Chain A
Amino acid sequence: MSGYSVTEPSPRQKWIAGALVIGYAVITILPLVWILITGFKSPSDSISYPPKVFFEPTLEGYVNLFTTRTRVSPETLESLPPPETWYDEIVRRNDLVIAGPSRYGERFLNSIVIGFGSTFLSIFLGTLAAYAFSRFKVPLKDDLLFFILSTRMMPPIAVAIPIFLMFRQLGLSDTHLGMILLYTAVNISLAVWLLKGFIDEIPLEYEEAALIDGYTRFQAFYKVVLPQAATGIASTAIFCLIFAWNEYAFAVLLTSGTAQTAPPFIPTIIGVGGQDWPAVAAGATLFLLPVMVFTILLRKHLLRGITFGAVRK
């Protein structure tokens, strides 16, 4: 409360601060905008030099992302009935026909299942562990906490080969369960440490009041502690989801047919009938959406979560 004072910044300081923030925002947002725009360009526009800022938007990239196409001879093309749908028409313009759906939708769904599944599991286990570490006398508590943290001291990919072998033995290779467990294992140390910090900040008296009011320890935990920890849980969940969502190296190594996520899939679009940058950009754009929506939904908590502890009464 005391120990620092807040003085109103001068107009000049405000102006400089504003300019810095705007400059930083432009630098970080520009690539995203570029990807968004490229997704609506035609392949030739996407590689034209100098780059086109004004162009005729098309959904070709998105159609290509979700379909596989084959080239047919002009005679066959002539003999076909007229295109039935708008996407048939887009494909026909390039003398192609739709052969079937691509695997993007499937991969995207895999990402959702694995990303949210591992986030849920990390938060679930992490909250229980953090509560126990925060509230109970755990033998060797400090050593255990250090051990949990130490699992993050090297890049996870350093253990890729042992994990690859282990997964093959256990039949977890290329399964959703395997990827959920793997991402949970990587995220859990972060979750335990972050959540323990948040739970430590919640005064013990609230739970004790609930115990006195006739609730069991577990009821006190989920009726009083959990709502108090919502802020911390939300921000931890965002961190966990972002890691699991974007993870590339393990996904390349451990998944192929059934459980492959979107990150290793998107680059494979390159090479199917030339470098189809609009399709890649379309895939990347759609891929960004879930994390963005999730973060926007939780952003109020996120802000409070990051400043937690700094603003207590």
Chain B
Amino acid sequence: MARIVIKDVRKEFGDFTAVQASSFTIEDGEFFMLLGPSGCGKTTTLRMIAGLELPTSGEIYIDGEEVGQKPASQRDIAFVFQMFALYPHMNVRRNISYPLVSQGMGRAEVKARVAEVARILGIEDILDRPVGGLSGGDRQRVALGRAIVRRPKAFMMDEPLGALDAEFREHMSEELRALHDRMGATTVYVTHDQLEAMQMGDKIVVMNHGVVEQFGTPQDIYDKPATMFVADFIGAPAMNLMRFDGEVAPGATSLLYDGAEVAVPRMREGRRGALALGVRPEHVHLDDAAPHRGRIAAVEYLGTTQILTLETATGALKLRAPAAQVARVGETVGLRFNGRTLSVFDARSGAALASDLNAQGGGDG
């Protein structure tokens, strides 16, 4: 059980900066997601928390104790590797008991703990098998067993489902989340799959190029993206980012977009120049009375909903409509935006402008 605080942590490899001054807090018992595209520094961040990599600068606190420069063996953190890294020269039982042996725990207690873990994970029948011939799912369970048997302060998992096939991944992610809910241990989970992060996480940190773009609950990150990168990375299909030249004033409740007024949440800062209007596909509706127009270029049927791709004066726009709504390719339709949900970005810096929508969520001035 632990609260983990990351403060201004940086990591350089030679003259390449893998992680730029990052700060976030992982509360005790949270299932915490590190999300971002490949190469953005997620693994490096996780390894710094675990002590497999020492930060170039910055501090890491585990339960109030600064551990940034301590070796992994002294941090009492478990790590589930992407390829599991089960000791190939030991059988399942020895793999799981290995962390206990290092603590000098008595034989009987080790046995009891391994049996308990095996029961929780449903791997009692494979305890005496070599790890070589195990299926992907069983390897995953053994790796988890080795992590939980020690009852560590926190779990680090680096894309633990990445090595499994898609079919099994869903099942295993439910199993993982259920396990976490039962044990309540702080878990930091790395993934590049935004859907996985949204489904499983209590909190998410979104990283890009070694920079923390946003830190918050899945709802916050989905509804109030702090940057255009986050807006584009989260959601399938992603948020529409309609670029245009214009201006907004502080206090404004609408802006001029594509020749007509669009209602927006009350702005707390103004900007003039290259802007982008952020619209989730489900927050734009077909309405022939609305001033904005688009031509339906494609229809993707998804069962309960359908995704329409529209050509507009400011670029392509995706719209999620009920499956029952009639939409024909080639038709020109009116578009009504749901004003309370829109984000306005400074298209040059990529940052969201502060408004009533995102201000309480930590939007800066």
Contact = CB atoms under 8 A, between A and B. Distances in A.
Interface stretch (A101-109, A213-221, A275-283): A213-221
A82 interface: no
B102 A205 contact: no
A206 B86 CA distance: 7
B87 interface: yes
Contacts of B99: 212-214
A228 B89 CA distance: 7
Interface in A179-228: 203, 205-206, 208-217, 219, 224, 227-228
Given A208-B72, A212-B52, A215-B102, A224 B87 contact: yes
Contacts of A212: 50, 52, 72-73, 77-79, 99
A78 to B, nearest CB: 70
B81 A228 contact: no
A206 B146 CA distance: 13
Interface in B294-349: none
A271 to B, nearest CB: 54
Given A211-B71, A213-B146, A228 B77 contact: no
A213 B83 contact: no
A88 to B, nearest CB: 55
Contacts of A214: 73, 99, 102-103, 150
A216 B72 CA distance: 9
A196 B224 CA distance: 52
A215 B87 CA distance: 14
A11 B85 CA distance: 43
Nearest to A226: B89
B11 to A, nearest CB: 15
B52 A208 contact: yes
Contact of B79 (A208, A215, A228): A208
Contact of A211 (B73, B83, B86, B103): B73
Interface string B178-190: 0000000000000
A216 B77 CA distance: 15
Given A208-B52, A213-B102, A214-B103, A203 B89 contact: no
Contacts of A216: 73
Contacts, number: 54
A205 B156 CA distance: 14
A205 B88 contact: no
B139 to A, nearest CB: 12
Contacts of B86: 209
Q: Is the interface of B mostly helix, strand, loop or mixed?
A: loop
Interface size class on chain A is 10 to 19
B101 to A, nearest CB: 9
Contacts of B102: 213-215, 219
A209 B85 contact: yes
Contacts of B103: 214
B98 interface: yes
A154 B52 CA distance: 42
A206 B52 CA distance: 12
Contacts of A209: 79, 81, 85-87, 146
A206 B73 contact: no
A66 to B, nearest CB: 44
Contacts of B52: 208, 211-212
Contacts of A217: 71
B81 A205 contact: yes
Nearest to B77: A212
A228 B85 CA distance: 13
Contacts of B79: 208-209, 212
Contacts of A203: 83, 85
Interface string B39-73: 00000000000111000000000000000000111
Nearest to B83: A205
Interface string A146-178: 000000000000000000000000000000000
Contacts of B150: 213-214
Nearest to A206: B85
Interface string B92-119: 0000001100110000000000000000
Contacts of B88: 206, 228
Contacts of B146: 209, 213
B163 to A, nearest CB: 12
Nearest to A224: B87
Contacts of A210: 87, 98
Interface string A265-303: 000000000000000000000000000000000000000
A208 B156 CA distance: 13
A209 B78 CA distance: 9
A205 B73 contact: no
A205 B88 CA distance: 12
Interface of B: 50-52, 71-73, 77-79, 81, 83, 85-89, 98-99, 102-103, 146, 150
27 contacts: A205-B83, A205-B85, A206-B87, A208-B81, A208-B85, A209-B79, A209-B85, A209-B86, A209-B87, A210-B87, A210-B98, A211-B71, A212-B52, A212-B73, A212-B77, A212-B78, A212-B99, A213-B99, A213-B146, A215-B73, A215-B102, A216-B73, A217-B71, A219-B102, A224-B87, A227-B89, A228-B88
Interface of A: 203, 205-206, 208-217, 219, 224, 227-228
Q: Which 7 A-B pairs have the closest CB atoms?
A: A205-B85, A214-B102, A213-B99, A211-B72, A209-B85, A212-B79, A227-B89
Given A209-B79, A211-B73, A213-B150, 20 more contacts: A203-B83, A206-B85, A206-B87, A209-B85, A209-B87, A209-B146, A210-B98, A211-B51, A211-B52, A212-B52, A212-B77, A212-B99, A213-B73, A214-B73, A214-B102, A214-B103, A217-B71, A219-B102, A224-B87, A228-B89
